């Protein structure tokens, strides 16, 4: 079984999680994932060769980050401080961050101010992810009525299908999903996208009420409702990383 360790490397001014797998292999292999970087190295002599493979891996990462701005954005830790703004087309939220003695970290929304109370013993490495989770949930709860209304509006006009439930989830792996039973989930990152892109994501999921796949028939349904959908697809591929809180 491979031995796995996690390290935080500073590359191009960013703290990047690196998962090192020591395996029965003869060469090094590196890949970038949504959680960080996977580095697979030979088990035999791995400790002796650490300086060598780390130098090689850092050089490779620097090149990737320079050539792919979207990857750089993925690893940039937002410097969340009081006054930090999260902009959406409908509302700009301002963070008020404090440390407290409470057992867990929590947040609440009042007006357009998101109050974040962090457990004072929370490890620095998890502060950014904790704040992102709390902010995503609060913004999702705040905008769910608007999103629900818009999805029903599009459905009534073009699809006339049963919708059992609509939820906004703190999910970065996709923009939305639709079950065969009519439950629609929308990622909270959608709320930071332009209004027309949001409408495309809603249409995309509603079309799955008619076709639970991405067949030519499915895309003809999408095109029938939104002929310009390819423009929004391109926007997402190019700028989607900007919607990460």
Q: For residue 202, name the pLDDT band (cuts at 50, 70, 90).
A: very high
What's the 3-state SS for 40-100? EEECCCCCCCHHHHHHHHHHHHHHHHHHCHHHHHHHCCCCCCCCCEEECCCCEEEEEEEEE
- Asked if 158 and 187 count as a contact pair (C-beta separation under 8 A), the reply is no
Q: What counts of helices (H) and strands (E) characterise the chain?
A: 6, 11
- Neighbouring CB atoms inside 10 A of 39's CB total 23
The tens digit of pLDDT for each residue in 14-40 reads 778 888 888 888 888 999 887 788 898
pLDDT value of residue 126: 79
What's the 3-state SS for 208-227? CCCCCCCCHHHHHHHHHHCC
pLDDT value of residue 2: 57
Q: For residue 78, name the pLDDT band (cuts at 50, 70, 90).
A: low
Give, for 165, the enclosing helix (H) or strand (E).
strand 165-169
User: Which letter does DSSP use for residue 154 in this model?
Assistant: H
The tens digit of pLDDT for each residue in 204-219 reads 999 999 999 999 999 9
**Cα–Cα distance for residue pair 189/179, rounded to 1 Å:** 20
Q: What CATH number does the domain located at 143-243 have?
A: 3.30.2010.10
Q: For residue 6, name the pLDDT band (cuts at 50, 70, 90).
A: confident
| CATH 3.30.2010.10 in the chain, residue ranges | 143-243
Is 241 or 122 the better-scoring residue by pLDDT? 122
pLDDT value of residue 232: 97
The tens digit of pLDDT for each residue in 218-230 reads 999 999 999 999 9
Rounded to an integer, the average pLDDT of 81-89 is: 91
Rounded to an integer, the average pLDDT of 232-242 is: 87
């Amino acid at each position: 079984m491979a031995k796995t360790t996690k390290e935080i490397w500073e590359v191009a001014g960013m703290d990047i999680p690196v998962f090192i797998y020591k395996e029965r292999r003869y060469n090094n292999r590196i890949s970038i994932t949504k959680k960080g970087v996977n580095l697979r190295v030979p088990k035999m002599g791995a400790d002796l060769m650490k300086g060598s493979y780390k130098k090689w891996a850092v050089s490779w990462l620097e090149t990737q980050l320079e050539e792919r701005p979207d990857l750089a954005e993925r690893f940039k830790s937002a410097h969340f401080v009081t006054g930090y703004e999260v902009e959406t087309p409908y509302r700009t939220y301002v963070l008020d961050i404090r440390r407290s003695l409470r057992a867990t970290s929590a947040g609440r929304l009042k007006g357009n101010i998101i109050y974040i109370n962090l457990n004072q013993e929370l490890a620095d490495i998890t502060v950014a992810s904790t704040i992102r989770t709390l902010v995503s949930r609060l913004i999702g709860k705040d905008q769910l009525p608007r999103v629900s209304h818009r999805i029903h509006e599009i459905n009534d006009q073009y699809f006339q299908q049963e919708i059992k439930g609509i939820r906004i989830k703190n999910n970065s792996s996709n923009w939305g999903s639709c079950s065969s039973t009519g439950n629609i989930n929308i990622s909270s990152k959608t709320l930071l996208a332009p209004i027309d892109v949001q409408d495309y994501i809603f249409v995309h999921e509603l079309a799955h009420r008619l076709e639970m796949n991405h067949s030519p028939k499915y895309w003809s349904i999408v095109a029938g409702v939104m002929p310009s959908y390819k423009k929004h697809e391109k926007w997402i591929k190019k700028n989607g990383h900007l919607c990460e809180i």
